[in-house]
Amino acid sequence: MNRSLATLCGLFHTFGGLVLYWTVMLAFGVRPAIATALLFMVLEGAWRLLTHRPFPPLWLLANGAALVFGCIDLWARTPFMLRYEGAILNLLTATVFAAGASGREPLVMAFARRRRPDIPVERPEIVRFFRAFTCAWALYFVARATAFLWIMTTFPLIQATAIRTVVAWASLGAMLLLSINGRHVFDLCQRLGFFHPARNSAS
């Protein structure tokens, strides 16, 4: 339970501005939504500076997107970005995860090591697993972007927003459940023949 709560808190710290923007946008309109997102960014940014926490690319992407989408809707006579911003943001997020799959420490591994610093980065099979898991997250966000675009262009706005919310949280919950139980997923993959340690060529 504590691990799940920590994961949810981490998600809010990353995507809070965007979540608040959508919520306030639907309830009160564009201007209050922009003000709320901006206030969140200021408070969150100050908290990160005071606690010496970094500004991850996903944080900059999610909260910056909230302000950009809000400004576009504010400039337009009738807000229209609400239909497309979910798909756009998910594609951008997929790009971040795809780029984060390479390197010595894949993006999902970096997230996991914040909760479990003892995860060994020197074991190639574990790094390969997290690289594949990061790619799986990238594919998930691509699929979610496609689903969001279809939902938001097929149904009336209020109904589409409700359907998108259910799909977003249900699918995200499933992916988070897999991530939280990553150790079990890794063990299952090994039983299926994947991510075994490389054999020593000298033996």
Q: What is the pLDDT of residues 88-97, one digit of tens each?
A: 888 988 988 9
Residue 74 confidence (pLDDT) above 80:
no
**Distance between CA atoms of residues 14 and 61, nearest Å:** 9
pLDDT at 171: 93
Q: Which of 164, 19, 143, 11 shows the shortest CA–CA distance to 83?
A: 164
Average pLDDT over residues 50-56: 86
When mean pLDDT is compared across 28-42, 64-78, 187-201, the lowest value belongs to: 64-78
pLDDT digits (tens, 9 = 90+) for 133-184: 999 999 999 999 999 999 999 998 889 888 988 998 899 889 988 988 888 9
Question: Per residue in 145-183, is it b (16+ CB within 10 Å) or e — as a string?
Answer: bebbbebbeeeeeeebbebbeeebeeeeeeeeeebbebe
| Mean pLDDT over each residue of the chain, to the nearest integer | 83
Average pLDDT over residues 178-197: 89
Average pLDDT over residues 96-112: 87
Query: Do residues 40 and 67 lie in contact, with contact meaning Cβ atoms separated by under 8 Å?
Result: no
What is the value of pTM for the model shown? Answer: 0.74
Matching residue, tokens 């939902």: 151
Helix (H, G, I), strand (E, B) or coil at 185: helix
Q: What is the DSSP letter of 198?
A: P
Average pLDDT over residues 25-39: 79
How confident is residue 8, by pLDDT bands cut at 50, 70 and 90?
low
Rounded to a whole number of angstroms, the distance between the first and last alpha carbons of the chain is 44
How many other CB atoms are there within 10 angstroms of residue 13's CB atom?
16
Average pLDDT over residues 181-188: 90
pLDDT at 78: 64
Q: Which helix or strand (DSSP H or E) is residue 36 part of?
A: helix 30-50
**Residues with Cβ within 8 Å of residue 25, at least 6 apart in sequence:** 33, 70, 73, 79, 82
**Residues with Cβ within 8 Å of residue 55, at least 6 apart in sequence:** 45, 48
